[in-house]
Amino acid sequence: MEKIHLSQGAGGEEMNELVMKIIDKINIKSDWVLGGDSAHINIGSDNLFFTSDSYTVDPIFFNGGDIGKIAFCGTVNDILMSGGKPLGVSLSFVIEEGFEHLSKIIDSLKKESLKYNIPIVTGDTKVVEKGSLKGIIINTSGIGIGKPFNKEIVEGDSVIVSRNIGNHGVALLASRYDFETDIETDSKQLVEEVDSIRNYVKLAKDATRGGIAAVLNEISEKINIGMELIEEKIPIDKKVKKMCEILGVNIYELANEGTMIVIVSKDDEEKTLDELKKFNQTVSVMGTISKTEKNRVIIKTKIGRKVLRIPTGNIVPRIC
Amino acid sequence: MSLKKINELATKLGSVNIMEVCGGHTNSIIRNGIRDAMPKNINLISGPGCPVCVTTQKEIDEMINLALNGVPVATYADMIRVPGTKMSLEEARENGADIKAVYSATEVLDDKNRVFFGIGFETTTPMTAKLLENDIAVYSAHKLIPPGLLALSTDKRVNIDALILPGHVAVIIGEQEFPDLNVPQVITGFEPENILESIKIILDQLVEGKKEIVNNYKGVVTKTGNGKAQKIINENFKVVDSDWRGLGTIPSSGLEPKDDNLNAKIKYKDILGKTITKELPGCRCAEVIIGQIRPSECQLFGKVCTPKNPRGACMVSEEGACQIYHANRN
């Protein structure tokens, strides 16, 4: 494999390709079903789910959360998005010599673990020389049990987003660039949300790195079908929108840590909305599955139409 | 409302080429689906107002060479993926060069040993001037919009019927600085309604045979601009001739630090002099920037040149015409 570029970790097209290369290179056949937010394997009447994720974030503490919170919620959510109920999480740290905030991060991990009694059951710590990484890297893995979501997706199905988007990315960028704002990360375990709509879900995915732009394109490619979104129906907080304009970043490409995309049949749309509204009023049907737009995600704006591109490169603020 | 009016006016006109000079406009036009909503005979052409796109190959190569020779460098994150002759700044960084990607020039205010690669127009220049005030060396690729527009309008390869003028630049330089180019020109903000309104004003003028400069960003853009910003630019920079990708050398269209000691081009003359620059074979960014060809007419487009692996500057930036076309290709 050639030299690794920063953009191969940004959640866009380059990262997908790198992951595919790694998978192809390993290529060991097994009964595990791969490709979702977590892998799963049939164990009698149920399925076992397994996922792993490493977390590095700049800055480590930001409005409404920290690296510990997203490390726990992210892995739990990856189990949930595939249909599993999380049973336990592992926790590993790689810490830079001289790091001073570990205790605060552990408090935050513990708080999340207690919330739904998903225990942290195993782990590891390593300390590396000053300068060999920036502060701390956390890896969490998780296992879960349940039935994978696998209903067939067809034209006319509804594409729902569970809440307004972009808050995490903006909270992070604001902290990074010293903008004062009360916008907080959306980081959250989606345990109750998924439980409430389990029967309706055809596909669920949390819109993390690369934002809805990456996730919707990924879905559309995977199921070999297109989507048509209505821009006005994509929920965005006014303050978040303004901040994106000031920062010059594309909100659709910003990471979320507690926001999911759910595809349900048109018939289940109302019921799904009613349930998700209990958790966040901004839930919205932002579009539908469309065959005419094969493998593309189209957004209808007030004025015309545009393609929602899969992000490439790193997210950088515009300068003009 | 404007859209309906635009459709009406378009029926009275032949093919119309309107150039939006600023990358910010291109972004808003794409983001809001305006290009798609235009009548068939109204062509919106992206102009040279994307700072990354007009920065020349030589300027990029010189910065890469400087960084590879051990001089710490900083520039805007947008710039670091643009390919030079052998590599981009990003690849130079992977090879060990000290290159910092910043969001704002002020991030290097305390970094006295670093050279700042200043790019952009009147909007980013005041920040670079601030660095010069603080004795930080600058490699300036800063360019000025009015002489750029003048060169564009007299370039025989270019066929433009009207211009959407950059709102942010106008905030700094003021309405009065834009040259009369014998075509309708409208200073415009970045909200989609504002852009549609400006297109309507342009079509109105074309129908009536007028060629005026109109300020459609009132309340934000004044006649004389931002005096404070102009002052810091004038105190720290002098006007020089400058090379633009696509347009060539334009007289009095660039800025260099007044203080030679802070001018990286002078300070590091020996290193920079050894830089090897070759235009990328096949790359037609230059013609794309002036609206002479559409991106899809370039042979590299979508084949060897993609957003993921850009060969030319126009494929790098989200405002670059090639990247936009690439996303919207069928």
Domain extents in chain B: 1-278, 285-319
Interface size between A and B, measured as CB pairs under 8 A: 88
For residue B86, is pLDDT > 80?
A: yes
Residues of B in contact with A247 (CB under 8 A): 103
Q: Domain check: are A195 and A216 in the same one? A: yes
Q: Domain check: are A235 and A286 in the same one? A: yes
- Residues with Cβ within 8 Å of B226's Cβ and at least 6 positions away in sequence, in order, are B171, B172, B174
Q: How far is CA B213 from the centre of its chain?
A: 21
Q: How far is A87 from chain B (nearest CA, A)?
A: 39
* Superfamily of domain B1-278, CATH level 4: HypD, alpha/beta domain 1 (3.40.50.11750)
- The mean of the pLDDT values for chain B is 92
Before A119, cis peptide (omega within 30)? no
CB contact A312 to B (< 8 Å) = yes
Kindly calculate the radius of gyration of chain A based on its CA atoms and give it in whole angstroms: 19
Task: Return the residue of B nearest to A13 by Cα.
Answer: B308
Q: Domain check: are A221 and A292 in the same one? A: yes
ipTM, two decimals, is 0.72
For residue A278, is pLDDT > 80?
A: yes
Residues of B in contact with A15 (CB under 8 A): none
Q: pLDDT grade, residue B305 (50/70/90)?
A: very high
pLDDT at A317: 60
pLDDT at A150: 87
Residue A249 lies in a domain: yes
Do the Cβ atoms of A306 and B77 come within 8 Å?
A: no
pLDDT at A319: 55
Most A CBs within 10 A among B90, B168, B318, hence the mutation to make, goes to B318
Do the Cβ atoms of A317 and B22 come within 8 Å?
A: no
Residues of B in contact with A250 (CB under 8 A): 31, 318
The per-residue b/e assignment along B199-218, b for 16 or more CB within 10 angstroms, e otherwise, is bbbbbebbeeeeeebbbbbe
Q: What is the full DSSP assignment across B191-219?
A: SHHHHHHHHHHHHHHHHHT---EEEESTT
For residue A315, is pLDDT > 80?
A: no
Residue ending a domain, among A117, A146, A175, is A146
Q: pLDDT grade, residue B318 (50/70/90)?
A: confident
Chain A, residues 77-96, CB within 8 A of chain B, namely none
How many angstroms separate the CA atoms of B222 and B177, rounded? Answer: 11
Q: Domain check: are A128 and A164 in the same one? A: no
For residue A9, is pLDDT > 80?
A: no
Q: Domain check: are A164 and A137 in the same one? A: no
Once rounded to an integer, what is the mean pLDDT over residues B291-304? 88
For residue B110, is pLDDT > 70?
A: yes
What is the share, in percent, of chain B residues with pLDDT greater than 70? 99
Q: pLDDT grade, residue B179 (50/70/90)?
A: very high
Q: Look at residue A8 and give its three-state secondary structure.
A: helix
For residue B197, is pLDDT > 90?
A: yes
pLDDT at A8: 82
For residue B273, is pLDDT > 90?
A: yes
Q: Domain check: are A142 and A163 in the same one? A: no
Domain residue limits at A112? 31-146
- The mean of the pLDDT values for chain A is 92
- Residues with Cβ within 8 Å of B214's Cβ and at least 6 positions away in sequence, in order, are B184, B185, B186, B187, B198, B201, B205
Q: Domain check: are A123 and A43 in the same one? A: yes
For residue A212, is pLDDT > 90?
A: yes
Residue A320 lies in a domain: no
Please count the structural domains in chain A.
Answer: 2
For residue A318, is pLDDT > 70?
A: no
Most B CBs within 10 A among A21, A251, A320, hence the mutation to make, goes to A320
Residues of A in contact with B168 (CB under 8 A): 320
What tens digit of pLDDT does each residue of B201-245 get?
999 999 999 999 999 999 899 999 999 999 999 999 999 999 998
| Out of B33, B121, B308, closest to residue A303 by CB | B33
What tens digit of pLDDT does each residue of B127-164 get?
999 999 999 999 999 999 999 999 988 888 888 999 99
For residue A144, is pLDDT > 90?
A: yes
Residues of B in contact with A309 (CB under 8 A): 307, 327
Q: Domain check: are A217 and A116 in the same one? A: no
Do the Cβ atoms of A317 and B168 come within 8 Å?
A: no
How many angstroms separate the CA atoms of B116 and B138, rounded? Answer: 5
Residues of B in contact with A307 (CB under 8 A): 327-328
Q: pLDDT grade, residue A314 (50/70/90)?
A: low
Torsion angle defined by CA atoms of residues A250, A255, A256 and A260, in that order, rounded to the nearest 10 degrees:
90
Residue ending a domain, among A112, A146, A180, is A146
Q: Domain check: are A43 and A100 in the same one? A: yes
Do the Cβ atoms of B3 and A303 come within 8 Å?
A: yes
| Out of A3, A305, A319, closest to residue B94 by CB | A3
Q: Which of residues A17 and A271 earns the better pLDDT score?
A: A271
Do the Cβ atoms of A320 and B23 come within 8 Å?
A: yes
The DSSP H or E segment spanning B21 is strand B16-22
For residue A5, is pLDDT > 90?
A: no
A225 half-sphere exposure, CB direction, 13 A CA radius: 16
Q: pLDDT grade, residue A316 (50/70/90)?
A: low
Do the Cβ atoms of B36 and A307 come within 8 Å?
A: no
Q: Domain check: are A230 and A187 in the same one? A: yes
Q: Which of A273-277, A278-282, A314-318, B125-129 has the lowest mean pLDDT?
A: A314-318
Q: Which of residues A156 and B159 earns the better pLDDT score?
A: A156
For residue B311, is pLDDT > 90?
A: no
How many angstroms separate the CA atoms of A138 and A108, rounded? Answer: 13
Once rounded to an integer, what is the mean pLDDT over residues A48-77? 95
Residue ending a domain, among A146, A168, A190, is A146
What tokens does B314 get? 């126009």
Q: How far is B68 from chain A (nearest CA, A)?
A: 18
| Out of B33, B77, B196, closest to residue A316 by CB | B77
Most A CBs within 10 A among B1, B20, B32, hence the mutation to make, goes to B32
Q: Domain check: are A78 and A186 in the same one? A: no
Q: Which of A109-113, B108-112, B254-258 has the lowest mean pLDDT?
A: B108-112
Q: pLDDT grade, residue B330 (50/70/90)?
A: low
For residue B60, is pLDDT > 70?
A: yes
CATH number, domain containing residue A174: 3.90.650.10
Once rounded to an integer, what is the mean pLDDT over residues A25-37? 89
Residues of B in contact with A59 (CB under 8 A): none
Residues of A in contact with B52 (CB under 8 A): 319
Q: Domain check: are A136 and A226 in the same one? A: no
Do the Cβ atoms of A303 and B24 come within 8 Å?
A: no
- Residues with Cβ within 8 Å of A269's Cβ and at least 6 positions away in sequence, in order, are A158, A160, A285
